Amino acid sequence: MDVLSTTSTMTAGSANSATSSSSTAINSDFDTFLKMLTAQMQNQDPLEPTDSTEFTAQLAQFSAVEQQVQTNETLATLSAQIAALGNNSMASWIGMEARVAGLAHFDGQTPVEVYPMANGAADEAYLIVKDENGNEVDRVKIDPAAETVEWDGMDDDGAPFPEGNYVFQTQSLSNGKDLDTVLAESYTRISETQASTGGMVLVGTGGTKYLSVDIVGLREPTASDET
């Protein structure tokens, strides 16, 4: 919790520092522009004076650019503040179990509980398991009406697959014809929250990472997980 707070403070502090530096630079550039404009007026050819409307246009153009830069800085500061607030609010998710699609961690011995999410029109379904490189390592026939199934993590010879992160998919068929293949869902314990350019990232068991928008459910840890 302290780490998250420190990170948020550093983010906001960095944004404020950057805004202050940018504002100083803008003021300096604006003063320089005025000095150059004054020098130009003092040294113009009296026989062919520069049209005053040209000076006005230059000043207006610079002011417009200055205003746009300041607006961008304000938006950047607000974005940093919102990210900090989001990080703090997501901190309450640490220790909870999040229901996510696709990726799950296998510890090398404990079966993985999976929510297959088979097509309602299916009369046949398969749980497809792939490693992190996208290679299919297992395919198990399952009841298409089952709410949950367990993947035992064993190969055809009865040996456990290596510990690691695996992607779970469910293929649904009807009368032998493919209906669809979707990502199956599972629960993972949240251990950390991180801010990123793509949104808040939640770190689950085994270092699995998910965007907060990909979380479809949240629950208290089960008694067996707490022991």
Q: CATH number of the domain that 122 lies in?
A: 2.60.40.4070
Percent of the chain with pLDDT over 70: 60
Residue with tokens 């153009």: 61
| 114 and 145 co-located in one domain | yes
| Domain enclosing residue 213, as ranges | 94-98+188-226
Token digits of residue 204: 């689950």
pLDDT in tens, 22-50: 555 555 566 676 677 677 666 766 666 66
Q: Please tell me whether residues 115 and 192 are part of one structural domain.
A: no
Pair 7, 22 in one domain: yes
Tokens 């928008």 correspond to what residue? 213
Q: Tell whether 183 and 129 lie within a shared domain.
A: yes
d(CA 92, CA 85): 12
Give the bridge partners for 216, in sequence order: none
pLDDT digits (tens, 9 = 90+) for 84-107: 545 556 677 888 898 998 889 999
Nearest-angstrom CA–CA distance, 184 and 119:
11
Residues 169 and 198 in one domain: no
Asked if 85 and 167 sit in the same domain, the reply is no
In degrees, rounded to 5, the angle at the alpha carbon of residue 35 between the alpha carbons of residues 72 and 64 is: 25
Residues 199 and 177 in one domain: no
Joined together, the tokens standing for residue 96 give: 């909870």
Whether residue 208 sits in one domain with residue 159: no
- Identify the CA nearest to 190 among candidates 200, 179, 177: 200
Amino acid at 42: Q
Between CA 157 and CA 154 the distance in angstroms is: 8
Q: What is the pTM of this model?
A: 0.58
Task: Give the Cα separation of 112 and 102 in Å (integer).
Answer: 12
* Number of domains composing the chain: 3
* Whether 182 and 196 share a structural domain: no
Helices and strands of the chain, counted as H and E runs: 3, 13
